[in-house]
Structure 1
Amino acid sequence: MRKNSIKNTRINTQVQRELSDIIRNEIKDPRIHPMTSVVSVVVAPDLKSAKAYISVLGDEKEQADTLAGLKSAEGYIRRQLANTVNLRNTPQITFVLDQSIEYGVKMSKLIDEVNHQAGDVE
């Protein structure tokens, strides 16, 4: 199976949707921040591993706590994923903190600030 095949894209989307649902509705760990979202999932072509990119709206401590909570619930998440997604192999999930949304918000604020200052100069 090629890396960007239609089947692989469909599997990535399905795993992302189910993973998001499991994190939001089924995990009761207090370390996991309520504003946690699954940005994207990349499942390896052999279906044995997956990287889940997680975004947490909060400070660095909340992000670290959320990552620790997800890492400790990894077995439970994988078991729930096996029950909901029909795959030959259930992938081993690695959680990666994705700060692209936070970076985008920061850049947007900086651009607005520059535009506002430029308006004051004229």
Structure 2
Amino acid sequence: MKNMGDGRRVARVEREIQATVAQFLLRDLRSELPGIVSVASVKMPADLRAAKVYISVIGTDEERDEVMDILKERAYEIQNYIGSELKMRYCPKLTFYSDTITEQVIKVDRILQELENERKAKGDKGSSEADDE
């Protein structure tokens, strides 16, 4: 069995595919996609024949579902674009997944901000009561 474990090459191809898919979204699908859409990451096996493309959508659940449906319908067209842009021996088969990590980060950030605001509000009350005495 040959050595397929050059992680640097896989990482470089993942970055190139991520950039190329993002270009395609901006160039050809900008008007069709609702919400704010970005290519969060791409994961590929060592043979580079498949790619899991994680898409982040900032918007409602309906918008996220619509974006995923559009991308799944247009996957073949996006694969052709990648094939023409990257000149790879094999064009990877794309599979799109919704990236929920970005949403989780936003939720955690919002919760932390609310806690910070509550802490400041309690701190202001405590210092004004101390001033009254």
Question: If the length of structure 2 is used for normalisation, what is the TM-score?
Answer: 0.84
Check the 8 A contact 2:50/2:92 in 1, yes or no: yes
Check the 8 A contact 2:35/2:63 in 1, yes or no: no
- Segments ≥4 residues shifted beyond 2 Å: 27-30
Give the paired residue count.
120
Check the 8 A contact 2:7/2:46 in 1, yes or no: no
Structure 1 residues 44 and 113: alpha-carbon distance in aligned structure 2, compared to 1, 3 A threshold = same
Check the 8 A contact 1:82/1:90 in 2, yes or no: yes
Unpaired runs of 5+ residues, structure 2, are: 124-133
SS at match of 1:46: coil
Identity, % of aligned positions:
23
Q: Which residue of 2 aligns with 1:103?
A: 104
5 Å matches for 1:1-122?
1-2=4-5, 5-27=7-29, 30=32, 32-33=33-34, 35-122=36-123
Q: CA RMSD in A?
A: 1.5
Which range is displaced more, 34-43 or 10-19? 34-43
Question: Counting helix residues as a fraction of each chain, which structure ranks higher?
Answer: 2
Unpaired runs of 5+ residues, structure 1, are: none
If asked which structure has higher relative contact order (CA below 8 Å, sep 6+), I would say 1
SS at match of 2:41: strand
